[in-house]
Structure 1
Amino acid sequence: MSDLIADFKTAFRTHPAGIALVTAATATGPVGLTASSVASVALDPTSLVFSVTRATGTAGALLGAHSLVVHFLGTQHEDLARAFSTSGGPRFTPEQPWERLPSGEPFLPDARAAMRAVPTLVVPVGSSSLIVAEVVDVRLGPDAPPLVWHETRFRTLTD
Structure 2
Amino acid sequence: MKDKEVFINESFPIPFDKRMARLWRRCSQLVRTWIGNCIAPEVVAGLPLMKDPKKMWENIREMYRKLDQGNMTITTVYNKLSGLWNELEAAKEKFDWPDHIQQQYKQMREREKATRFLLILNEAYLSFRPQILTMETLPSLGRIYQLII
Superposition TM-score, scaled by structure 2 size? 0.27
The structure whose residues are more often helix, as a share, is 2
The structure whose residues are more often strand, as a share, is 1
Higher relative contact order structure (alpha carbons within 8 Å, sequence separation ≥ 6): 1
The structure having more radius of gyration, on CA atoms, is: 2
